[in-house]
């Protein structure tokens, strides 16, 4: 998904350089990465956007062994209040397990993106001017 900034309304010759290359993704995986690219106004004033953003590295991260174990423990405890009958080291309070498991869950959208009608959208980032 590419997010474009709103046009800057300024009178002028409106000569833009080509878009630069996309920046390195801010995350290696998990869908929370953001990258941007810019273009430079070659004249004193330009109309249009000078920066774009997009999400990147949407593939799921390799499963952290800790997360895999937590999810397995939660499944084992699902039908057993307090994890009774489960090995002693699994008898953690559910709130602790839930908190730890939440850290292993990948969100559908990551800041500055938020979900609107099933799609990730962003607040408008601040424009830089020449």
pLDDT tens for each residue of 53-73: 888 887 777 766 666 676 676
Ordered alpha helix ranges (H), 31-115 = 65-77, 94-104
| H helix intervals, the chain | 65-77, 94-104
**Is 123 a residue whose pLDDT tops 90?**
no
Pair 24, 52 in one domain: yes
* Nearest in space to 55 (alpha carbons), one of 11, 23, 21, 25: 25
Q: Are residues 48 and 23 in the same domain?
A: yes
CA pair distance 78, 80, nearest whole angstrom: 6
Rounded to two decimals, the pTM is: 0.45
pLDDT of residue 85: 47
Say if residue 93 is in the same domain as residue 116: no
Q: What is the pLDDT of residues 83-96, one digit of tens each?
A: 544 444 554 555 55
Residue 128 has pLDDT above 50, yes or no: no
Q: Which two tokens stand for residue 19?
A: 């878009």
Which residue carries 């941007």 as its tokens? 36
Same domain, 57 and 14: yes
Domains held by the chain: number: 2
Say if residue 1 is in the same domain as residue 56.
yes
Sheet strands side by side (includes 33-38) = 2-4, 51-56, 33-38
Lowest-pLDDT range, 17-21, 25-29, 39-43, 106-110?
A: 106-110
Closest CA to 32 of 56, 61, 2: 56
Query: In CATH, what number is assigned to the domain containing residue 23?
Result: 2.20.100.10
Domain range for 86 is: 62-105
């Amino acid at each position: 998904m590419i997010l474009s900034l709103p046009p800057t309304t300024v009178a002028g010759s409106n000569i833009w350089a080509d878009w630069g290359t996309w920046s390195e993704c801010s995350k290696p995986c998990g869908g929370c990465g953001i990258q941007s690219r810019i273009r430079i106004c070659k004249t004193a004033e330009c109309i249009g956007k000078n920066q774009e953003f997009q999400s990147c590295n949407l593939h799921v991260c390799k499963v952290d062994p800790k997360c895999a174990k937590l999810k397995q423990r939660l499944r084992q405890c699902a039908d057993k209040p307090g994890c009774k009958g489960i090995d002693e080291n699994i008898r953690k309070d559910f709130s602790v397990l839930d908190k730890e498991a939440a850290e292993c869950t990948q969100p559908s959208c990551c800041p500055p993106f938020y979900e609107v009608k099933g799609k990730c959208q962003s607040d408008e980032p601040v424009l830089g001017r020449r």
